[in-house]
Homo-oligomer: A and B are copies of this chain.
């Protein structure tokens, strides 16, 4: 008994008749979760689309708004939807394909996806190198490196935080050059490094630090991809180590041999 037939609110698509079974051993919110996910998977709801309001969903399924919220919470936890305070609930966008090649520049890569790149300087300074930075750069621990920390955005959406390390001996004026040019590539050119290419990329993932989470506008529970690039100049000498942190749910790194 007690199967509740809810009349479809729209005849066309998406809001097909969903029968929730009570006392069937599956909690209502789980059934709602599955129903919504099925709707998304069947492409009745496209990436970026806004779901009906919680109120509307509660009406449609004939349940309390709390029950809908539990279902949405489960979907958000799994990264299927994204809930924004005051705006609504949205089907999660497809991740941005970020193709990594021998010559990869952030702004080019973003523009390739028809999005508008923007880069902002967060922090700049001169520090003694930790061994994790010194080694790939071919320096001794404690030698001076220049750090530029940048936040990269696509269409205003934060994509990556990158810590760029340069050997201070090679490019002493890097900070000024970056301030003048607003781009790593052009700043390096100004410092006499006409071109550089990627020697290797090491990828791992972890949960974000508090600062990274804030800058990326990402909950602390959502992982970040960490890509460590070693870039070399045309003579094959290391010129930059960059450590990029990206919201894992927003990007997909693409490597093609």
Q: Which A residues are within 8 Å of any B CB, using their own CB?
A: 41, 77-79, 95, 97, 100-102, 131, 197-207, 209-210, 221-225, 248-249, 251-257
Q: Are B202 and A97 in contact (CB under 8 A)?
A: yes
Q: Are B255 and A201 in contact (CB under 8 A)?
A: yes
- Within 8 Å by CB of A223, from B77, B102, B197, B248, lies B248
Cα separation A203 to B97 with both chains bound (whole Å):
10
Closest to A248 in B: B205
- Within 8 Å by CB of A203, from B41, B203, B206, lies B203
Which among A102, A197, A204 has the highest number of chain B CB atoms within 10 Å?
A204
With a cutoff of 8 Å between Cβ atoms, the chain B residues found around residue A79 in the complex are 206
Which among A131, A207, A249, A254 has the highest number of chain B CB atoms within 10 Å?
A207
Q: Are B252 and A102 in contact (CB under 8 A)?
A: no
Known: A100-B255, A256-B199. A207 touches B223 (CB 8 A): yes
Q: Are A254 and B207 in contact (CB under 8 A)?
A: no
Cα separation A102 to B102 with both chains bound (whole Å):
15
The list of the 10 closest CB pairs from A to B, nearest first, reads A223-B223, A205-B205, A205-B248, A203-B253, A102-B257, A205-B223, A201-B255, A204-B252, A200-B256, A255-B255
Q: Are B248 and A209 in contact (CB under 8 A)?
A: no
